[in-house]
Structure 1
Amino acid sequence: MRKIIALAAALLAAAPLTASAAESMSYTWVEGGWTQLQISSPGSNPKLDGGYVRGSFAIAEQVYVFGGYSQVSETYDLSDDFGRVSIKQELNQPELGIGYHMPFTDRLDFTTDIAWMRINDELTLKQDNWPDQSLKTHTNAGRVTAGLRGKPSRATEAWLKAGYIDGSDMDGEWIGTLGGQVKFNRTWGLVGEVQYFDDITQYSVGVRASF
């Protein structure tokens, strides 16, 4: 976490504190791409791959609403003297929230948001000569974060957020997010983000269209 904070601080500090002709940061955009969830646990470190879509829409000068959906899965194939066993784990997560941003300079904003999220987890067991079995669980959670979003240069953005997440069937945990964007033009950009809480790290890479 200290490395993430130090890196983001260095990127944001590189942004000039004086007015410039650089394009302002947009809070209306849509995005989609690849995501991977890595879970650190004793004896194993499963990685679940999938995709995501999300977007943000400015409803006032400093207020925006946002939402998203991600789905990741992994299948594990095992075999023994009794036959073949296949275990599939699938996680999907919808999210809705509202945020606020306040400019410090032309290139640096303070941001804060609050969101509802639902984590749906499904395990499916397939075994030779046996009917399929499945187990489904879900967790409703709330998340509050605050951070900085800035433009180190005309064609790049970086953001850092830290906060707290808590909900049913889970202990409250601190959460941190580091992300960035390289813009090809006024509309299109390539986005990368890392999110960390408890023993879960999520990596995302996607394409964003800003309006």
Structure 2
Amino acid sequence: MNIAIARTLAAALAGALSFAPSFGAAAQERSYTYLEAGYLAQSLRSPRGDAVGLDDIDARGGYLAGSLALNEHWFASAGLYKGRDDVDLRAGATTLVRLDLDAQQVALGLGYRAALSERVDWTAELGWLNTRLAFEHKPLALRERSDGDDARLSLGLRGDLAPNLEGWAKLRYTDGDVYDGEFGGAAGVLLKFNPIWGASAQADFGAGNRQYTLGVRASF
């Protein structure tokens, strides 16, 4: 997904928010203090050399993420995302060896939010990402590890789609060691069972890196 598709997501969310009915006191408050955990599916571009390279990574695992409201406008966020995959080391079309892969990504961020209306917030976030890939082949005693750091800027909307349903969409720019000046986006929803518990789903898209999460959130 490129920047045009991400803009379409943001426009669709804004349209849904503008045409949604007024909920009054029945709508549950949007919280910027929460913890959530769940299932993770992540696709990453593998490091490549001139002649030898790895297949792209499709890691599956879990994640733990959260946000803390610092005051009325500012909030901090953090996340840990871990997955595993088996990838082939190739020379051209020839598979040399299959490697066990552990993929880990740590995200830290600082955000600002401002109310556009009773039901819609505008958000801006500046974040740091660390991506670690650890490759291993036990019979050959082969171990390799790579780490990369990236900076990310996000602009988005978050609002009420229904009394117990939130939605959000973000436009993102990420640059550094792993993401090479990548424009992308994210879209997600939160279904609230009560003021504390809910189920969340989010999809993150970029030029070559994608992430999907499905989890349970506790808001405070």
Q: Same fold (TM over 0.5)?
A: yes
* Cα distance in 2, alignment partners of residues 137 and 45 from structure 1: 15
When you count strand as a share of all residues, which structure comes out higher? 1
The alignment partner of 2:214 has SS state of strand
**Other-structure match for 2:165:** 156
Structure 1 pair 139/40, CA: closer, same or farther in 2 (3 Å)? closer
What is the root-mean-square deviation of aligned Cα atoms in Å?
A: 2.5
Query: Aligned pair 1:27/2:38, yes or no?
Result: no
Query: Is residue 184–residue 206 contact of structure 2 (8 Å, CA) maintained in 1?
Result: yes
Q: What displacement does 1:5 show?
A: 3.9
- In the alignment, which residue of structure 2 is the partner of 1:52? 63
Task: Measure the CA separation in 2 of the matches of 1:125 and 1:111.
Answer: 44
- Give how far 1:69 is off: 0.5
Query: Does 2:72 align with 1:67?
Result: no
1:180 alignment partner in structure 2: 189
Residue of structure 1 aligned with 2:206, choices 177, 197, 200: 197
Pair 1:107-2:119 in alignment: yes
The 8 Å contact of residues 19 and 105 in structure 1, kept in 2 or not, is answered as no
Please say if residues 128 and 152 of structure 2, whose CA atoms lie closer than 8 Å, have aligned partners that are also in contact.
Answer: yes
Cross-structure match for 1:90 = 102
**Which 5+ residue runs of structure 2 have no aligned equivalent?**
47-53, 90-96
Query: Counterpart of 1:125?
Result: 137
Q: Secondary structure at the match of 2:173?
A: strand
SS at structure 1 position matched to 2:9: helix
* Cα separation, 1, equivalents of 2:114 and 2:58: 37
Question: Which amino acid in the other structure matches residue 74 of structure 1?
Answer: D
Residue 13 of structure 1: aligned partner: 18
Aligned-partner Cα distance in 1 for 2:63–2:178:
24
Residue 7 of structure 1 deviates from its aligned partner by: 4.0
C-alpha distance in 2, partners of 1:173/1:25? Answer: 30
How far is the alpha carbon of 1:163 from its aligned partner?
1.8
**SS of the residue aligned with 1:171?**
coil
Q: What is the rounded CA distance, in whole Å, between the counterparts of 1:120 and 1:77 in structure 2?
A: 18
* 1:207 matches 2:216: yes
Q: For 1:33 and 1:169, how far apart are their aligned partners in 2?
A: 24
User: What count of residue pairs does the alignment treat as equivalent?
Assistant: 202
Measured after TM superposition, the shift of residue 126 of structure 1 is 3.2
Q: Residues 154 and 73 (structure 1 numbering): CA distance in 2 closer, same or farther, change over 3 Å?
A: same
Q: Distance in 2 between matches of 1:105 and 1:147?
A: 14
Q: Identity over aligned residues, as a percent?
A: 31
Q: 1:144, 1:165 within 8 Å by CA — same for their partners in 2?
A: yes
**DSSP 3-state at the match of 2:157:** strand
Once the two structures are TM-superposed, the CA of residue 201 in structure 1 deviates from its matched residue by 1.4
Relative distance call for 1:71 and 1:181 in structure 2 (3 A) is same
8 Å CA contact 1:20, 1:106 repeated in 2:
no
**Which ranges of structure 1 fall in alignment gaps of 5 or more residues?**
79-84
Structure 1 distance, partners of 2:75, 2:42, is: 27
What's 2:151 paired with? 142
- Does the CA contact (< 8 Å) of 2:191 and 2:198 recur in 1? yes
